[in-house]
Amino acid sequence: MAVDESGRTFGIVAVDAAARPVAEAWGTRLRELGRPVQTWFGPAPPLDAWLTAARVGYRLLLAGPEADLLALRARAGVLLDAEITLYVTDSRERVVRCARCRTATRTAAAVLDCAGCGLRMAVHDHVSTVHGAHLGSWSGA
């Protein structure tokens, strides 16, 4: 996946091992262009510190499982879609937010019991980039 070269400074996150090659390719290309890059390998980048220090012109490049990327996107609400590149390595698992108690549960199932209130939930197509989660609601099943 091509890197967004219109930015001035960059942050790169590779959440899991599968994300590493694409993140390294991004970093290599940006260093060739002489652009400042900060990089993090692993699921818990210091995103808040990065975003506080960054100035307009910054781009965030994220690679990893969809559920992790959605959570990171939710924490980077200050950025526009045009300032973020997402590369999904795996979309089997989803984070599901319970409509009743708002607890987030990570799952690969289409129907599950909420980890917070135990509600039997169906997972909907609805995805919130603010909550970084799919909607789950009561299912009679």
Partner 1 sequence: MTRLSRFPFPLAADTFTYTTNVEPARVPVATAAGEWGAGIVEPDDEYRTEVAERAAVVARDPSRVQLLPHMRPAAWDALLTLLRELAAQCPAHMALVEGPQCLWRNDLLGVEQRFTVGDDESLPGGPLGFLNGQLQEDVVLLDQREDALWVDAGAVAFAADWSLAFVTGMRFAEVHRPVVARVHQAGVLTRAEQFLLRLPPGAEYRRLNWTLSVDRRLDLSTEVREEWEPQRAALAAAAPAELGRRVHLRVELQHLIRLGASGAVLFLIRTHLLSLDELAAVPAWRRRVGRVLAALPDDVADYKGLSGVRPGVVRWCLEP
Partner 2 sequence: MTELVVSRTADPAPGIRELTLADPRGGPPPAAPPGAHVVLTCGDRRNAYSLVDTDPYVVAVRRQGAGSSWLHRLAPGDRVEVSGPRSTFAPVRTARRHLLVAGGIGVTPLLSHAREAVRWGQDVRMVYVHRRGAYAAELRALLGDRLREAGRADLERALDLTDQPLGTHLYVCGPPGLQDRVVDAAARAGWPGARIHRERFTAAPEPGVAFTARLRRTGRDLAVPEGTTLLGALEAAGLAVPSQCRQGVCGECRLPLLGGRPLHRDHYLAPEERAAAIMPCVSRAETLVELDL
> H-helix or E-strand containing 101?
none
Binding mask 44-63 for partner 2 (x = CB under 8 A): -------x--xxxxxx----
Binding mask 62-91 for partner 2 (x = CB under 8 A): ----------------xxx-xx--------
Residues 12, 72: Cα–Cα separation, whole Å: 12
Q: Which does 135 bind (CB under 5 to 8 A by kind): partner 1, partner 2, none?
A: partner 1
In which residue are the tokens 């959440």 written?
Answer: 15
Asked if 20 is part of the footprint of partner 1 (rule: CB under 8 A), the reply reads no
Contact 35, 7 (CB under 8 A): yes
Residues 112, 130: Cα–Cα separation, whole Å: 22
Residues 126, 134: Cα–Cα separation, whole Å: 6
Q: Which is nearer to partner 2, 78 or 101 (CB)?
A: 78
Segment near partner 1 (CB under 8 A), from 13-21, 34-42, 46-54, 95-103? 95-103
Asked if 129 is part of the footprint of partner 1 (rule: CB under 8 A), the reply reads yes
